[in-house]
C-alpha cells in the first residue's frame, strides 16, 4: 500500500496520507490516544486557499451530533462553516492553530490539526474510497470556482 494517494485538482496534486481515514465533509482523522484527531484534507485546503481566521462556536467538553456546526474558517476564498464529522464529545481544540491558523494551510496533516473528539468513525472512508468520492465532487467544485473567479 502506498504511503499516500494523490488526487489531481487541475494542475494541483492534493495528497492524502494512507495512514488515516477521511470524512464526507473533507476532514481527515486518526487515532490519538483515546480520541480521534481531525483536520482538513488537502482537498478542502485547496478549495479554501490560505486560512486566515479560525473560530469555534462550541467549547471543549461539548457533546455534538454529526453535522452540527462547531466553528468556522475564513480564508482567501470564503468563510466556511465547520461541522462535526461524527456524534461525540469535543475533547480539545488545537490551541496553536487557533492562535495562528496558517498552520492549517502549511501543515494540515500535522501541526495544523483542528480538534480531538471521542467518537466512532463508522462513516469514515479509507483513502481510496475518499478519492472516489472526490472524483464526483470535483466536477461541482470546478463549477463553483469558475463562478468565484468570474
- CA-CA distance, 26 to 43, in Å (whole number)? 7
CATH number at residue 33: 2.40.50.100
- CA-CA distance, 116 to 36, in Å (whole number)? 5
Read off φ and ψ for residue 141, nearest 5 degrees: -65, -40
pLDDT, tens only, 77-120: 788 999 999 999 999 999 999 999 989 989 999 999 999 999 98
More confident residue, 37 or 141: 37
CB atoms within 10 A of CB 59: 8
Which pLDDT score is estimated for 146? 63
Annotate 77-105 with b (16+ C-beta within 10 A) or e (fewer).
beebebbbbbbbebbebbeebbeebebbb
Counting the structural domains of the chain, the total is 1
In a domain, 142, yes or no: no
- Say yes or no to pLDDT of 144 above 70: no
Residue 32 has, within 13 A of its CA and on its CB side, a CA count of: 20
Which pLDDT score is estimated for 148? 56
In a domain, 14, yes or no: no
**Are 26 and 40 contacting, i.e. CB atoms less than 8 angstroms apart?**
yes
In a domain, 137, yes or no: no
In a domain, 15, yes or no: no
In a domain, 63, yes or no: yes
Report CA 93 to chain centroid distance, whole Å: 14
Q: Give the bridge partners for 14, in sequence order.
A: 7
In a domain, 4, yes or no: no
- CA-CA distance, 120 to 99, in Å (whole number)? 28
| Domain encompassing residue 99 | 20-122
State the maximum Cα–Cα separation within the chain, in Å, rounded to a whole number.
46
Q: What angle do CA 40, 14, 118 make, to 5 degrees?
A: 25
In a domain, 12, yes or no: no
In a domain, 129, yes or no: no
Amino acid at each position: 500500500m502506498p504511503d499516500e494517494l494523490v488526487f489531481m485538482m487541475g494542475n494541483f496534486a492534493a495528497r492524502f496520507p494512507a495512514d488515516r481515514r477521511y470524512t464526507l465533509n473533507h476532514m481527515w482523522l486518526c487515532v490519538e490516544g483515546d480520541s480521534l484527531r481531525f483536520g482538513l484534507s488537502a482537498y478542502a485546503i485547496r478549495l479554501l486557499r490560505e486560512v486566515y481566521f479560525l473560530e469555534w462556536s462550541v467549547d471543549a467538553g461539548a457533546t455534538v451530533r454529526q453535522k452540527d456546526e462547531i466553528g468556522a474558517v475564513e480564508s482567501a476564498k470564503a468563510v466556511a462553516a465547520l461541522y462535526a464529522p461524527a456524534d461525540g464529545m469535543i475533547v480539545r481544540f488545537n490551541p496553536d492553530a487557533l492562535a495562528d491558523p496558517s498552520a492549517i494551510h502549511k501543515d494540515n496533516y500535522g501541526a495544523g490539526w483542528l480538534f480531538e473528539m471521542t467518537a466512532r468513525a463508522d462513516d469514515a472512508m479509507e483513502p481510496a474510497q475518499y478519492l472516489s468520492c472526490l472524483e464526483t465532487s470535483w466536477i461541482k467544485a470546478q463549477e463553483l470556482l469558475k463562478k468565484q473567479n468570474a
